[in-house]
Amino acid sequence: MHNTLLLAIVVAVALAFDFTNGFHDTANAVAPTIATGALKPKVAVALSSVFNLVGAFLSLKVAATIASALVAQNLVTLPVIFAGLIGAIAWNVTTWYFAIPSSSSHALIGGVIGAMMVLAGGHAVLWSGLISKVIIPAGLAPLVALVAAGVALIAARRLTAKVDTDTSSFGFRVGQIGSSSLLSIAHGTNDAQKTMGVVTLALIANGTLASNSSTPALVVVSCAIAIGMGTFFGGWRIIRTMGQGFTHLTPQQGFAAQIASSAVILTSSHMGLPLSTTHVATGAIIGVGAATPQQPVRWRLVADVAMAWVVTLPAAGLFGAFSYYVAHVIGGTFGVAVLALVAAAYVTFLMRRSRRHVINAANVNDLWGESLAPLEAATVVAA
């Protein structure tokens, strides 16, 4: 049944999610590059946004599904899509505020599951799929990346033992530019495709597109631009956590971490077991830190971030469930519009509060525990 206003709201919220996905996940590709000084912060973020944009345009085959193999697809309606997106945005912005790297994909899945459970109960969720395709891979991804990055770093250290420090640092910094770009393309391909699928599904659910239609060019362009702009906005808070919080990174460590991340993400995706970019990138950074006894890892922060990952699915689910319930109680397109405004107010509130401890290109590389200690304490407490 056509409802143009509802469709417009859903598409706008989907693009907003894509935008938050961009700035939330920027750190995965650029944090080590910025931390080691391979590129200046704004240059790194600008380069990543360009490659995310390019990657998004490489997404030629888009699946018009949302949380496929996780929820009953025949029950997915526009309000469910809307509530799922709101749940994901709310969690993304919350974790951004507390400078915690977390998976945008899991936030979207959680939001949709929460909404679906309010609509149709637990039997609408394919629990075995959730465990095998989301929860178990979520636990394994950082471990695989940790091992790959740690082993790679040890090998690099031994092979370049006789190379002078300046040449080694310069060489690995140059290498990081390539590895960061590859990660950005991979992210743009994966994550923009997800939002393209959601928007296409919304168009099909509204009857605007036939069920076997290909993704319209305007959808591809708008999703690509949204994720590119979000990346350019630069999630400085999370960049700081990943670049300075877990451990102090050298160019050699940064390169090993980024190459290991790229290898794990590309291989797993190609072989049909997609893993969270955030979990992999974080695991790789921790791996190179663990393989360097002279520079200890802040394990307390690691434990706190891991706890945030555990909470992501249920927390986004709660946001999604609440969104669907309120929109349903108010009723119709008006209910959806009211919820969209409530969500916008929540995001605005957090954005304004974030100005108490501003993190930007100028201070993103400040040593952990010094000028930004109050925010870092809040990051640990919040997680």
Where on the chain is the footprint of other proteins (CB under 8 A)? 55, 58-61, 128, 131-132, 136, 140, 144, 147-149, 151-153, 155-156, 159-160, 162-164, 167-168, 171-172, 175, 178, 182, 185-186, 189, 193, 255-256, 259-260, 262-264, 266-273
Give the C-alpha separation, 32 to 266, whole Å.
19
Which is nearer to other proteins, 61 or 356 (by Cβ)? 61
Q: How many CB atoms lie within 10 A of CB 267?
A: 13
Which is nearer to other proteins, 154 or 330 (by Cβ)? 154
Which is nearer to other proteins, 128 or 371 (by Cβ)? 128
Which is nearer to other proteins, 115 or 156 (by Cβ)? 156
For residues 173-212, one letter each, b for 16 or more C-beta atoms within 10 angstroms of the residue's C-beta and e for the rest, the string is bebbbebbbbbbbbbbbbbbbbbbbbbbbbbbbbeebeee
Beta carbon of residue 282, minimum distance to other proteins (angstroms, whole number)? 15
How many angstroms separate the first and last alpha carbons of the chain?
43
Beta carbon of residue 194, minimum distance to other proteins (angstroms, whole number)? 12
Beta carbon of residue 308, minimum distance to other proteins (angstroms, whole number)? 23
What three-state secondary structure class fits 125?
A: strand
Beta carbon of residue 79, minimum distance to other proteins (angstroms, whole number)? 30
Tell me if 282 sits within 8 A of 305, measured CB to CB: yes
Contacts 24+ apart (CB under 8 A), 208-211: 208/2, 208/7, 211/64
Which is nearer to other proteins, 51 or 91 (by Cβ)? 51
Beta carbon of residue 283, minimum distance to other proteins (angstroms, whole number)? 11
Beta carbon of residue 107, minimum distance to other proteins (angstroms, whole number)? 22
Map tokens 């999610």 to a residue.
Answer: 17
Which is nearer to other proteins, 258 or 379 (by Cβ)? 258
